[in-house]
Structure 1
């Protein structure tokens, strides 16, 4: 039970309650709103409020849980753009933790690590922060952001959760009572049960605290310049009229599939989740953002909810039936007689394709986390030797399954691995007419359906592609059609026959997910800063992040609905599924605190690496 729960239940003395209540509540005052620049192609809608802080400005203090690739992905723009100050890290792997701190915390200030800047376990931070709040209430420390009477005991404003997917539930539930602003990497959870329990736990703790907090989700595609321009054209400008259908494809990439979903962390459903969730919840979220969410985040109009969801899929390519006969009984690339001719050769992918050219980042760093340090201190040959050692690691039929699934095997034969997630899947989402009352009409031109007519979205996730994660698709409307490929948008207008080509500003190479990583960091910390300056949480959540918690949960629920439809070979009714699986669970009070962390599998693999 949290300290705040004790406070609400009267288990804290009135004197301490008075001290605790002196901590400012962000919802008690208002601040002038900042209008967005709708004509800009930039993700940064309010650049003046999130540029590098000037002297005297409030700078959000940030803790990062998980020093893997996703922790770095958000920390880089935070540091580069001056969005906040990273003041702490939780990471069990000492090399990763020290490297992260040297890069973002104590290294830039040319000093050694101080107390409470690094934690081996996220539970240690929770204990620290709980004790710190108790000391604030007791008058031993001054307030949330001040050094207080003990300079070592400083608080944080926001936490980035970048641990493995199966750990999200436990971490979110532990942090929610502390009243911190949270951004969790996608997906929120690996099961429908945990997703709903997070929704319930966060909203319950808001009630206990007496205030809401900013809650972000790592659906970074919403925040890329390309997708924001695509949505502006479709929803705000209505350049093709009402949407009739969308065909959207996510090309995973031939070797990326083998790296992450055959050999890597996300290869088994029993340790992670279906690939539709771990890989493509981004895309389901974008489709609902395009077709379901209100046109503007500030709108109070209800979403245009789906009618039905169906899905089909299979594990087609990476299975034993496709293993070349000439490979024989070999289970590791380095011992395979046809390794040199196999396009999925681990040596070819990690050494020849990447390390040989000097790339010590992704994906090589995922195989050997310390590879960059080895390359710099001992040279290229030593780095190659260490990489080949890692790729040679293998298991046999005698190896316990618990040991096999506890880690990744990047040198394993892709046709003889323990993967079971799908490599090809389609999802169909349909909408029925759902017109709003006349009072909600915005213009005569939109007609009686007000842009909420019947439509459908067809999504395809597939692995054997040349492009890696460069989404493409077509949107068909009543007045024209749009084609897009992650760099270019083409708008064809029926009445004129004219096709306009639009190329949104391309992000730099260091901006992941087409600039979406930077975009989310900007928007999340912009929302946090807005609240710290006295603004309302709801306003910050909507104007900066563009969604509320229910909308963030909705796209996850859509994925689980699609999986249920696939497994049962049925077409699911959305309303019935939501009422039973979400609202029903909440009404029944399903508050199982177990996080389904798969029997200790994640104990030594905290950070999220791809």
Structure 2
């Protein structure tokens, strides 16, 4: 099987066509307690005369999912694909680019990202020389290759220049790679200038937009949760958050024991590969300001004070292997207790109970084992399905022994391997604790500004509906610490062994109430009124509760604003993507800091760690001030 640049999704894609979600930059739909559970998705933004064009680099499940979302829910076009696996490349091309044509048009199909870069350099040279009939290029790239390839690809695209880039998460698997990518991308950003475009305070347009696959920022559920917490202040000042990602017992075995993300040396810690966007969403809720239109506030986040973490590989190891399996057994298909084992590869991939071939599924996770199986599934004949079953069992029967070179073992996936005999070493259970102190500098500044403002500066009156006519109005005291910049704590738990599969749940405790969010509903209890309100955001069938689709929609819309509407890249980055390059670096750095804390068994001072591990690696004017 040829090596592939594609990045198969570490989270399962839900079935169904992509839909859309309300734009971050264009307002949030706050659905109340009486709203229905599902909504018709808003239509894609209108197409510009010259729609943004994109290349998908890596035609795995993530790349294919983004291509589908671009096509159905954005105002952009998929124009090219780069992927060494011929079947995957042509499958994506036929579905989204050249259709039933006998061959791909020039500039639409590449066997590798290097081929694309070489072609694009030559294409630009031909166009600059005045050659007629030169095909149109692309405006941006979706980087969906394996995690360990992100640095090389993104640096090459940044050096090429002029391309807007969306990189699948994580940004990279090593901190040094993240800082190198940040430096290259920062050099491509726009410089302060004099304007043009729609609105006030524009900048010169000489930069590019960057987005990261932190899809949790873009789900209708989390957009509403953030609005309730930061704009509506439904629980007052947040004091504590407990956030859990239940990976799912068999999903973890597929991706992190048998699959691409099982080893730190070939991938990264599971906190990074699985949960970096959970860490990001905690910072989005607890550090970032309510509005990204406020540039000064975006550049001055309320940062954590300390980071601590505990975790280990608790279960998927040889000491947990059932006695009846026998010490010599390494593959499920030859195991004497296979029928009784819930982790049996035959049960997971071939059977009916989970999402195996027996349930009629030829998509994820079955297609990760045998990519070609999807074509047989579409054919649908009994003969084709029997052939699919044979192919699947053949692949699951592949194994390695003591004589197999370690490099060969690490270089590919072994989906039939016993989960207690695999070469995995990433944590299957981990807890991260973050603390914030009162922002004393902001408190002092607020005290000076409000010293002569009277009682109104320190409190606000509750609405008349929250108190009876016989009672005095309730005064809600804010204190001297500015809103959102007080002491607080966040605890994150990544757990493998759960029935839930990536359906996160979160408890939020505040000064005026508490809330519980479970990926489908948000329940708010108001201490002031005693009222309980249940909010039901629109639930979408696409991955991460609609976050995948929202990420695509916003990135394409940002590129369109830069290309066709005179926006600066910096403005589009803040107001439409809703995530700055600094936030991307910070959330990834926090994961590496948590790993240092876990391995060192210590509580780490975040500011000191940042100055010691990150700042020396940053380049360019103002790098030392990045925080």
> Structure 1's 440 and 385: CA in aligned 2 closer, same or farther, altered over 3 A?
farther
Aligned to 1:3: none
What does 1:87-166 correspond to in 2, within 5 Å? 87-107=79-99, 110=101, 112-140=103-131, 149-151=132-134, 153-166=135-148
Aligned to 2:242: 247
CA distance, structure 1, for counterparts of residue 449 and residue 66 of structure 2: 39
Answer yes or no: is 1:271 the counterpart of 2:253: no
Answer yes or no: is 1:367 the counterpart of 2:369: yes
CA distance, structure 1, for counterparts of residue 24 and residue 261 of structure 2: 41
> Structure 1's 59 and 588: CA in aligned 2 closer, same or farther, altered over 3 A?
closer
User: Which of the numbers 264, 289, 292 marks the counterpart of 1:294?
Assistant: 289
CA distance, structure 1, for counterparts of residue 314 and residue 106 of structure 2: 51
Aligned to 1:182: 165
How big is each residue's C-alpha offset from its partner over 1:135-168, in whole Å with a ceiling of 9 and x where there is no partner? Answer: 333333xxxxxxxx224x3210010000000000
CA distance, structure 2, for counterparts of residue 115 and residue 227 of structure 1: 41
User: Which of the numbers 504, 509, 515 marks the counterpart of 1:482?
Assistant: 515
Instruction: Please state whether the residue corresponding to 1:578 is helix, strand or coil.
Output: helix
How big is each residue's C-alpha offset from its partner over 1:524-571, in whole Å with a ceiling of 9 and x where there is no partner? Answer: 001000001121111111111112101111000000000001111111
CA distance, structure 1, for counterparts of residue 75 and residue 190 of structure 2: 29
Aligned to 2:583: 551
User: Which of the numbers 374, 380, 388 marks the counterpart of 1:383?
Assistant: 388
CA distance, structure 1, for counterparts of residue 528 and residue 290 of structure 2: 25
Instruction: Please state whether the residue corresponding to 1:379 is helix, strand or coil.
Output: helix
CA distance, structure 1, for counterparts of residue 533 and residue 323 of structure 2: 51
CA distance, structure 1, for counterparts of residue 125 and residue 602 of structure 2: 53
Aligned to 2:16: none
How big is each residue's C-alpha offset from its partner over 1:149-199, in whole Å with a ceiling of 9 and x where there is no partner? Answer: 224x32100100000000000000000022100000001100001001111
TM-score, with structure 1 as normaliser: 0.85
Instruction: Please state whether the residue corresponding to 1:464 is helix, strand or coil.
Output: coil
> Structure 1's 376 and 505: CA in aligned 2 closer, same or farther, altered over 3 A?
closer
Aligned to 2:53: 61
Tell me, which stretches of 5 or more residues in structure 1 are unaligned? Answer: 1-32, 141-148, 592-610
Aligned to 2:12: none
Q: Is contact 1:52–1:81 with CA below 8 Å preserved after alignment?
A: no
Distance apart, 1:202 and its partner CA: 1.6
Aligned to 1:74: 66
How big is each residue's C-alpha offset from its partner over 1:436-468, in whole Å with a ceiling of 9 and x where there is no partner? Answer: 233888964343212210001000001000000
Aligned to 1:401: 406
> Structure 1's 47 and 376: CA in aligned 2 closer, same or farther, altered over 3 A?
closer
CA distance, structure 2, for counterparts of residue 458 and residue 548 of structure 1: 24
How big is each residue's C-alpha offset from its partner over 1:393-452, in whole Å with a ceiling of 9 and x where there is no partner? Answer: 100011001100111000000001000000000000110111523388896434321221
Distance apart, 1:496 and its partner CA: 2.3
Q: Is contact 2:238–2:508 with CA below 8 Å preserved after alignment?
A: yes
CA distance, structure 2, for counterparts of residue 304 and residue 478 of structure 1: 18
CA distance, structure 2, for counterparts of residue 58 and residue 492 of structure 1: 48
Aligned to 1:581: 613
Instruction: Please state whether the residue corresponding to 2:618 is helix, strand or coil.
Output: helix
Distance apart, 1:379 and its partner CA: 2.0
Tell me, which stretches of 5 or more residues in structure 2 are unaligned? Answer: 1-22, 32-36, 192-203, 451-455, 460-477
CA distance, structure 1, for counterparts of residue 374 and residue 121 of structure 2: 37
Instruction: Please state whether the residue corresponding to 1:229 is helix, strand or coil.
Output: helix
CA distance, structure 2, for counterparts of residue 516 and residue 550 of structure 1: 21
Aligned to 2:152: 170
Aligned to 1:606: none
CA distance, structure 1, for counterparts of residue 46 and residue 29 of structure 2: 23
User: Which of the numbers 180, 200, 218 marks the counterpart of 1:197?
Assistant: 180
Instruction: Please state whether the residue corresponding to 1:397 is helix, strand or coil.
Output: coil
Aligned to 2:302: 304
Aligned to 1:5: none
Q: Is contact 1:63–1:160 with CA below 8 Å preserved after alignment?
A: yes
Q: Is contact 1:375–1:382 with CA below 8 Å preserved after alignment?
A: no
CA distance, structure 1, for counterparts of residue 449 and residue 332 of structure 2: 62
TM-score, with structure 2 as normaliser: 0.83
Q: Is contact 2:558–2:572 with CA below 8 Å preserved after alignment?
A: yes
Using the TM superposition, name which of 544-553 and 489-498 deviates more: 489-498
> Structure 1's 80 and 423: CA in aligned 2 closer, same or farther, altered over 3 A?
same
> Structure 1's 43 and 420: CA in aligned 2 closer, same or farther, altered over 3 A?
farther
How big is each residue's C-alpha offset from its partner over 1:33-77, in whole Å with a ceiling of 9 and x where there is no partner? Answer: 997334445999x968x4252xx6331101000000100121111
